[in-house]
């Protein structure tokens, strides 16, 4: 109502200004002209003023009706995200990959800054508050508290950092096996069963819930070196940078895809304006289309030969000539 009152007031001021201006001209004309022309001008001005006021008043009325609705719509859109607070827990385990964890952490932290705290983020571990060493003898990070699989929001699981293969202590397969011996797998199972939690994974972090049997028949992606293992564990490997099997499970591919997973979740939870501000701050734009199990399924020309020939008759003619 404040907007409509102001606009009505402005329209009234405009009308009053025109009336005052024309009234002054009218008095001058009456003084300097012969009575016949003065009378004619006065009548003409009155008619014109009536027309002007007739045009302005409906315009002011329309503004009074439209402005509050537009203002309310803008306020409603802002309040939708303002009232929606999201908490992110980034899980640390011995041998975790620094970039897998810290790239998303910075994205969520920056989003919280731009949204006045609409999203919060913290580092957690299955054991609680402790210093957690990263892989490849990297620096340790402090887990602030224990992972809470009952707290609504987002739980993000990074991958491991180490040798890509082998049985040595610092090999990624061994680091993941050690993580499976902690309380983390059971906590992840609780999180997957919680409808108020979105589980996100980055790189080799996707293999942890898969090793627990939580990704059976779910679409997912991991580092390209672990895609065959992902399929062997019952998941449906998808060659994409970011995969959303459902709103409650999102996975990312290689190490740097943690940025894209986090930016996608910020966009989804807080809207594109905050996500864009974070992109500009980082001088980085989210890469790739987020794959989702929806829409038209594209033809796979590597396995569907008949479809390929049907869609591309020119290819048939070329192959026929070659034969």
Express each pLDDT in 97-146 by its tens digit: 999 999 999 999 999 999 999 999 999 999 999 999 999 999 999 999 99
Residue range 185-195: average pLDDT?
Answer: 98
User: 232 and 210 in contact (C-beta within 8 Å)?
Assistant: no
User: 248 and 195 in contact (C-beta within 8 Å)?
Assistant: yes
**Which pLDDT score, from 0 to 100, does residue 125 have?**
98
Per-residue pLDDT of 27-45, as tens digits, reads 544 444 444 434 444 455 5
pLDDT band of residue 303 (cuts 50, 70, 90) is confident
Burial 248-275 (b: 16+ CB within 10 A, else e): bbbbbbbbbbbbbbbbbbbbbbbbeebb
Share of the chain above pLDDT 90, in %: 67
Q: Where are the domains of the chain?
A: 2-80, 85-292
| pLDDT at residue 300 greater than cutoff 50 | yes
Chain centre to alpha carbon of residue 317: 47
Side-chain half-sphere of 31: how many Cα atoms within 13 Å? 6
User: 190 and 149 in contact (C-beta within 8 Å)?
Assistant: yes
Number of other CB atoms surrounding residue 187 within 10 Å: 19
CATH class of the 85-292 domain in this structure: alpha beta
The number of helices, as runs of H, and strands, as runs of E, in the chain is 11, 12
The overall average pLDDT reported for the chain is: 81
Burial 83-119 (b: 16+ CB within 10 A, else e): eeebbbbbbbbbbbbbbbbbbbbbbbbbbbebbeebb
pLDDT band of residue 302 (cuts 50, 70, 90) is confident
Burial 281-320 (b: 16+ CB within 10 A, else e): eeeeebeeebbbeeeeeeeeeeeeeeeeeeeeeeeeeeee
Of residues 3, 1, 10, 4, the one with CA closest to residue 61: 4
What is the pTM for the complete model shown? 0.72
pLDDT band of residue 264 (cuts 50, 70, 90) is very high
């Amino acid at each position: 109502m404040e907007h409509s009152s102001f606009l009505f007031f402005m329209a009234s001021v405009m009308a009053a200004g025109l009336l005052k201006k024309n009234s002054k001209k009218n008095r001058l004309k009456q003084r300097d002209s012969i009575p016949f022309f003065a009378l004619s001008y006065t009548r003409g001005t009155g008619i014109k003023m009536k027309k002007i006021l007739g045009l302005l008043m409906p315009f002011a009325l329309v503004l009074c009706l439209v402005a509050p609705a537009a203002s309310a719509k803008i306020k409603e859109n802002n309040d939708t995200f303002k009232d929606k607070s999201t908490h992110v827990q980034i899980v640390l385990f011995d041998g975790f990959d620094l970039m897998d964890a810290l790239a998303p952490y910075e994205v969520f932290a920056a989003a919280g800054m731009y949204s006045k705290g609409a999203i919060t983020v913290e580092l957690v571990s299955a054991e609680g508050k402790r210093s957690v060493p990263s892989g490849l003898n990297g620096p340790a990070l402090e887990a602030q508290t224990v992972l809470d699989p009952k707290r609504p929001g987002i739980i993000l699981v990074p991958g491991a950092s180490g040798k890509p293969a082998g049985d040595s202590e610092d090999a990624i397969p061994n680091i993941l096996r050690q993580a499976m011996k902690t309380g983390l797998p059971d906590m992840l199972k609780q999180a997957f069963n919680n409808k108020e939690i979105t589980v996100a994974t980055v790189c080799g972090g996707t293999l942890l819930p898969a090793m627990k049997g939580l990704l059976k028949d779910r679409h997912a992606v991991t580092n390209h070196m672990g895609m065959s293992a992902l399929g062997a564990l019952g998941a449906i490997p998808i060659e994409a940078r970011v995969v959303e099997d459902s709103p409650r499970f999102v996975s990312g591919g290689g190490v740097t895809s943690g940025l894209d997973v986090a930016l996608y979740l910020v966009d989804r939870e807080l809207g594109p304006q905050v996500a864009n501000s974070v992109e500009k701050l980082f001088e980085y734009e989210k890469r790739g289309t987020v794959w989702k199990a929806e829409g038209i399924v594209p033809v796979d020309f590597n396995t569907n030969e008949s479809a390929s020939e049907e869609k591309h008759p020119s290819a048939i003619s070329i192959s026929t000539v070659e034969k």
